[in-house]
Structure 1
Amino acid sequence: FFAGGDRSVRGFGFNQLSPLTPVIDPVTGVQAVDPATGDPQFEKLGGKHLVAGSVELVRDLPRNFAVAAFTDFGNAFDKFGDPIEMSVGIGIRYRLPIVTVGIDIAQALTTPAGAATRPGPRFHINFSPKL
C-alpha cells in the first residue's frame, strides 16, 4: 500500500507515504546519495498496512458553492509503531447536478520518512460523484 495525494492524505505527493529501503550503489556497495543535494537516496516499497482518514467541515454558500476546512491523516507502513502523517487545508467546492468539483490547498504538518524537510503547500483538484 501507498498513501498520499488527492484521494488519500492531501498535502503530500501521490504515493509519497510508504516504507523505504536504502538505494545501494552497485559500484561502491554503499548507500547512494543524490548528487544535487548530497542526501541519501531511498526507494519506496509500499507497506503491508494502510491507515487513512479525514475530518472535513463544509459550509454551504449561495449558487452551489461551499467552502471546506479539513485535516487528513494516515500512512502506509509495515509496523504499527510507524508515525501517522498529518496535514491541514482549506478548499472550495462547486456542486454540479452529477458531480462536485473540489479545489483544495493543503499543508503537511509532519516530515515523511526519507524527506529532509517538510513538504510545502500542495494544490489538489478532486471530482466526486453525487451518490
Structure 2
Amino acid sequence: IHGLGNKWRFLTRGKLGASLAKTIDDIPFSKRFFAGGDNSIRGYMLDQLGPKDSNGTVIGGRFLAVGSLELERKIWGNWSGAVFYDVGNAFDTEHGSFVTHGIGFGIRWLSPVGTVRIDLASALSFTDTPWRLHIVVGPEL
C-alpha cells in the first residue's frame, strides 16, 4: 500500500505458488492451484481458472502466478472508490493454460470490523462473460 497524498492510495498484491510434484496426477485435487474469485482474479468465479482436462473441466495446476494493481481515492469519511486490474492464472506444463485478465471498479467502506469491498469486475479473457459482483469483508486487497 503506497499513499499518494491525502486522498489517493496505490495497492498491489502478488501471489506465487509452486509444487515439486512431477505431474499433476501426483497432487491431490484439494492441494492443486486454482485462480479466480474475490481474492484472486476478479471478474471470474472462484477457482474458475487453471489447466483443463480434455473435457474442459478445470483440474488445477502445479504453479500459480496472480497479481493485482488497484488505485483508490478517498471520497467521504470512511468511504472510497477504486479501480483495479488483476492478472494471472494457475499453470501446468502438461495441460494448456494462458494468462487471464480482469478489470473493474468498486467502493470501499472502512467499517469497525474491517474493510468492506464491493466490486464490479469484467473477465477480459473470456468473451460474452457478464460483469461479476464481488463482496469481501476483511483485509485490504
Q: Same fold (TM over 0.5)?
A: yes
Ranges of 4+ aligned residues in structure 1 off by more than 4 Å: none
Identity of aligned residues (%): 44
Q: Does 1:5 align with 2:17?
A: no
Equivalent position of 1:43 in the other structure: 57
Alignment deviations for residues 60-95 of structure 1 (CA, whole Å, 9 cap, x no partner)? 11120000000001100103x842100110000000
Counterpart position of 2:20? none
Structure ID, larger Rg:
1
Q: CA RMSD in A?
A: 1.6
TM-score (norm 2): 0.70
Q: Give the structure 2 partner of residue 20 of structure 1.
A: 52
> Aligned partner of 1:105: which letter?
L
Q: What CA distance in whole angstroms lies between the structure 1 residues aligned with 2:75 and 2:69?
A: 20
Verify: 1:94 aligned to 2:109, yes or no: yes
- Report how far residue 46 of structure 1 moved: 0.5
Structure 2 unaligned residues grouped into runs of 5+: 1-32
Q: TM-score, normalised by structure 1?
A: 0.75
Structure that is richer in helix per residue: 2
On the 8 A contact 1:109/1:118 being kept in 2, the answer is no
Q: 1:49 to 1:118 in 2, by over 3 A?
A: farther
Q: What number of residue pairs does the alignment pair up?
A: 106
**Equivalent residues of 2:51, 2:97 under 8 A apart:** no
1:123 corresponds in structure 2 to 133
Using a 3 Å threshold, how does the CA distance of structure 1 residues 85 and 118 change in structure 2: closer, same or farther?
farther
SS at match of 1:19: coil
For structure 1, the residue ranges without an aligned partner over 5 or more in a row are 24-41, 112-116
Of 66, 69, 86, which aligns to 1:55? 69
